[in-house]
Amino acid sequence: METIENKFKERDYEVNIRFPEFTCLCPMTSQPDFAEIVISYVPGGRLVELKSLKFYLNAYRDRGIFHEEAVNRIMGDFVEAVQPKQAVITGRFNVRGGIHTTVTVTYP
């Protein structure tokens, strides 16, 4: 995940990003799981570069990972790269087996 300079670091503002085409694999069945990932953050000195974020999220496509682990890993990598003042990442996973899962992780 790459970053760019936040030219307005003296002010707090919120950035909202929606990635409606997130895909990963169920580690139990190897079947695809589809989700929308929503990232809301208050930047510090850096902003996430969107093309690199897209490539990062697309890298989960062939990865066997549970929903909770996926969203927590995304948050960990996002915080490490961007160092936001605050962040909330939500994964809204499509219905599978009659169950709809939403995972929300907050920082700090």
What distance in Å separates the CA atoms of residue 72 and residue 87, rounded to the nearest whole number? 12
Catalytic residue, chosen from 12, 26, 62, 77, is: 26
What distance in Å separates the CA atoms of residue 67 and residue 94, rounded to the nearest whole number? 11
Catalytic residue, chosen from 12, 24, 33, 77, is: 33
Active site residue 62: no
Active site residue 12: no
Count CA atoms closer than 13 A to 38's CA, side-chain side: 11
What distance in Å separates the CA atoms of residue 91 and residue 83, rounded to the nearest whole number? 20
Catalytically annotated residues:
26, 33
